[in-house]
Amino acid sequence: MMYIDPHIHVTSRTTDDYEAMQKAGIVAVIEPAFWLGQARTKIGSFQDYFSSLVGWERFRAKQFGIVHYCTMGLNSREANNVALAEEVMELLPLYVSKEGVVAIGEIGYDDQTEAEDRFYRLQLELAKEVDLPVMIHTPHRDKKKGTIRSMDVSEEHGLAPGMVIVDHNNEETAKDVLDRGYWAAFTIYPHTKMGSERMVDIVRQYGPERIIVNSAADWGISDPLAVPKTANLMREKGIPEEHIKMTCYGNALKAYGQSGQMDEKDWLEKEPIDQTKKMGGNTVLRGGQNPRIENDSSNIIEN
């Protein structure tokens, strides 16, 4: 079985995580641009971060057999530093058309401030201009209201619901998002909020159409194996295999594949792993370690 984790901040995860993810069947990840846990103070900090998302991190994932994509955007929290946010809006066009960028995101509302609204709208316009899907981060506080507002504003700007992935849904928002024709993504948080058990119930209730499962794993308490673990739980609870494939693989590919940047061939026909490879003179190996090198025949993925 192959899985995609379409929302994970792998930059903040370890090589052990990458190894475990590949072992569990994850073939591709999408890393949305977001904040660092503390506010950035300079535009250069955004620039280097965006460069690493299309550069080093994409390379690093490949050394562990995982295809890495990303989304570009100004996150809603940092939209509240208006002067810096304006500079980010000037920087973004340089990055949105780079290889492996599959959406504008994660954008939307956090505290639902005026500044957040302004930069959300500007980025919806940017997405339209470059014809990329949008990944919407819905607020953790006042979620229902923020989710409805995100969709209303997106429609005001003329985006087709089919080009928009609304993320971090729960039982309260799922129906509205699906009824209005959007992709509904669900983040599985260990121990709290949306757990795997609740996800199984949602798939049972709504079916697999346009539902996407992700981990949103980052530097906080989160689980980079949330997608395969949820898939296994679905299997245990009798959810049909086809529905598991859609929610944990196929729907994400369809939604973000609309970018023209993501194709099944990317992992079905990928080059064998060769950890001796370098990027800018740097490898993932540390003094004296044995590199993992696959030959072509060991690169066969079971479908």
**Please, what is the minimum distance in Å from the beta carbon of residue 159 to Zn ion?**
20
Closest to Zn ion by CB, 101 vs 216, is 216
Closest to Zn ion by CB, 6 vs 273, is 6
**Please, what is the minimum distance in Å from the beta carbon of residue 195 to Zn ion?**
18
**105-134 positions binding Zn ion, by CB under 5 A:** none
**Please, what is the minimum distance in Å from the beta carbon of residue 75 to Zn ion?**
8
Report whether 10 contacts 31 (CB < 8 A): yes
Q: How far is Cα 1 from Cα 89, in angstroms, rounded to an integer?
A: 40
Stretch of 50-58, 215-223, 279-287, 289-297 contacting Zn ion, by CB under 5 A: 215-223
Report whether 166 contacts 177 (CB < 8 A): yes
Pairing state of beta strands 164-167 and 3-5? unpaired
Instruction: Give just the sign of the alpha carbon dihedral 194, 197, 200, 205.
Output: negative
Stretch of 32-40, 52-60, 67-75, 278-286 contacting Zn ion, by CB under 5 A: 32-40
Closest to Zn ion by CB, 167 vs 239, is 167
216 lies in the binding site for Zn ion (CB under 5 A): yes
Q: How far is Cα 44 from Cα 50, in angstroms, rounded to an integer?
A: 10
| Of 43, 8, 41, nearest in space to 27 by CA | 8
Phi-psi region of 105 (alpha: psi -120 to 50; beta: other; left: phi over 0): left
String marking each residue 258-297 x if it binds Zn ion according to CB under 5 A? ----------------------------------------
**Please, what is the minimum distance in Å from the beta carbon of residue 214 to Zn ion?**
9
Report whether 33 contacts 10 (CB < 8 A): no
**Please, what is the minimum distance in Å from the beta carbon of residue 80 to Zn ion?**
17
Report whether 98 contacts 54 (CB < 8 A): yes
- Tokens representing 188 are 């599985």
255 lies in the binding site for Zn ion (CB under 5 A): no
248 lies in the binding site for Zn ion (CB under 5 A): no
Report whether 107 contacts 123 (CB < 8 A): yes
Count the site residues for Zn ion by CB under 5 A: 2
Q: Residue 44 CB: number of other CB atoms within 10 A?
A: 11
Residues of this chain that interact with Zn ion (CB under 5 A) are 34, 216
